[in-house]
Amino acid sequence: FQATRTHCIQTLTWACGYPIAATKFYVSESESQCASWLHHLFPDNISSLRPDYLAYDRACFLLRHLITQNPNSPWVKDVRLIVDAWHYIGHRVSDILCRSRCNPAPTDGSQPDLIIDEEIDGRRVTRRAFNTEAAEQLNSWLDGYKGTLNRMTDYNFDFVLYCILF
């Protein structure tokens, strides 16, 4: 093993930026790998552990994969998969699933927990209730350790990564 052969480190964080978990993907960041990792972290038979919302840059692709694998999956029924705000801009306007089920700030009232209406100087302003970029911000911070981590053995890499994160 060499860390340079790792495709990416996948992180899962709370909206406040605190990491929940991290794993290595060796070849690619595929929807099947992400789904497998999520099933490992949050088993289907323990619904109380699963988050209500999960922001991910490719959430609409992950949702399609989950629906294809098992349309009755708790991940499809109970968890709202949303695309993080920065990546959402690049998703197709014509993608109905993405626009209707994965919108990080729907203004149609379908997900009132995701947005906050405020009045500032007499104007109605809508803003996001959560930082959907928390994992991206953590990944950007972790990028500063890339040069060091790339030279480590598998065990040292895991040890240092978990010391940094947790």
- The residues spanned by each domain of the chain are 3-165
List Cα–Cα distances, 52 to 28, 49, 111, in angstroms: 26, 9, 11
3 confidence band (pLDDT: 50, 70, 90) = low
Helices 31-41 and 59-69: crossing angle in degrees, nearest 10, is 80
Question: Would you say the pTM of this structure is higher than 0.75?
Answer: yes
Q: Using the predicted structure, report yes or no on whether residue 2 has a pLDDT greater than 60.
A: no
Provide the pLDDT for residue 23: 92
Q: Are 74 and 51 in contact (CB under 8 A)?
A: no
Mean pLDDT calculated for residue range 117-132: 89
Phi, psi of 29 (to 5 degrees): -110, 75
